[in-house]
């Protein structure tokens, strides 16, 4: 039996078919939604450029029929409403995070509406380890021994580092900085 309802749906919007105020319309629905950067560097398997487009995912609090989601997509001029099987997988596809053979779009260019949080959607537990490794390298290369200095730098220049420090990477980095300072003074 096919699933007739789900919470999350995705669509594609072409710049020339989207309404002029499509982003405002999405915001006014108050439905959590994320919009990819403009995919203007995608190519078909034969090497021909794909038509520039946006990926748009809406995430309802309760299950909805596809027709209900299609109403929202129709209101902005988007096409091809589909049910989403994996919210994280779909969100990561918006920037091709798991497809290194495709153009990599900047995660900071994803738009959030209705309380959606793209960063939280795409996070994998393993991401924390690479972020911590980047911070360690930064501290080693810049003689940074102060957690305060690292936190300020992260807040102003590295959002992923700052998120990691605020969630659960702080204890590790404090210990790393303390022993790094001790090691360099010895």
The confidence score (pLDDT) of residue 33 equals 97
Which residues, in sequence order, are CB contacts of 108 under 8 Å at separation 6+? 159
- Verdict on whether the full-model pTM lies above 0.85: no
Name the CA dihedral angle for 119, 120, 124, 129, rounded to a multiple of 10 degrees: 70
Closest CA to 88 of 8, 161, 5, 176: 8
* 169 burial level (CB within 10 Å; 0-12, 13-18, 19+): buried
Q: How far apart are CA 122 and CA 115, in angstroms?
A: 15
The confidence score (pLDDT) of residue 2 equals 58
* Residue 133 CA: distances (Å) to CA of 79, 126, 136, 173: 41, 11, 5, 10
Report yes or no: 6 and 64 within 8 Å, Cβ to Cβ.
yes
- Summarised one tens digit per residue, pLDDT across range 47-104 is 899 999 999 999 999 999 999 999 999 999 999 899 999 999 999 999 999 999 999 9
The pLDDT > 90 percentage for the chain reads 81
Within a 10 A sphere around the Cβ of 150, how many other Cβ atoms? 24
- Summarised one tens digit per residue, pLDDT across range 123-133 is 887 788 889 99
* Residue 145 CA: distances (Å) to CA of 62, 85, 86, 105, 184: 48, 45, 41, 33, 10
């Amino acid at each position: 039996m096919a699933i007739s309802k789900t919470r999350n749906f995705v669509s594609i919007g072409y710049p020339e078919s989207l309404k002029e105020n499509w982003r405002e319309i999405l915001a006014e629905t108050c439905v959590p939604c994320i919009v990819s950067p403009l995919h203007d560097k995608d190519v078909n398997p034969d090497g021909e450029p794909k038509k520039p487009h946006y990926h748009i995912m809406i995430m309802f609090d309760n299950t909805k029929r596809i027709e209900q989601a299609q109403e929202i997509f129709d209101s902005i001029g988007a096409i091809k409403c589909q049910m989403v099987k994996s919210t994280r997988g779909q969100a990561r596809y918006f920037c091709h995070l798991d497809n290194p053979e495709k153009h990599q779009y900047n995660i900071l260019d994803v738009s959030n509406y209705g309380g959606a949080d793209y960063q939280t959607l795409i996070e994998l537990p393993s991401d924390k380890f690479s972020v911590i490794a980047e911070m360690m390298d930064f501290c080693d290369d810049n003689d940074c021994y102060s957690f305060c200095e690292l936190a300020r730098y992260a807040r102003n220049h590295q959002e992923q580092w700052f998120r990691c420090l605020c969630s659960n990477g702080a204890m590790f980095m404090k210990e790393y900085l303390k022993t790094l300072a001790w090691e360099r003074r010895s």
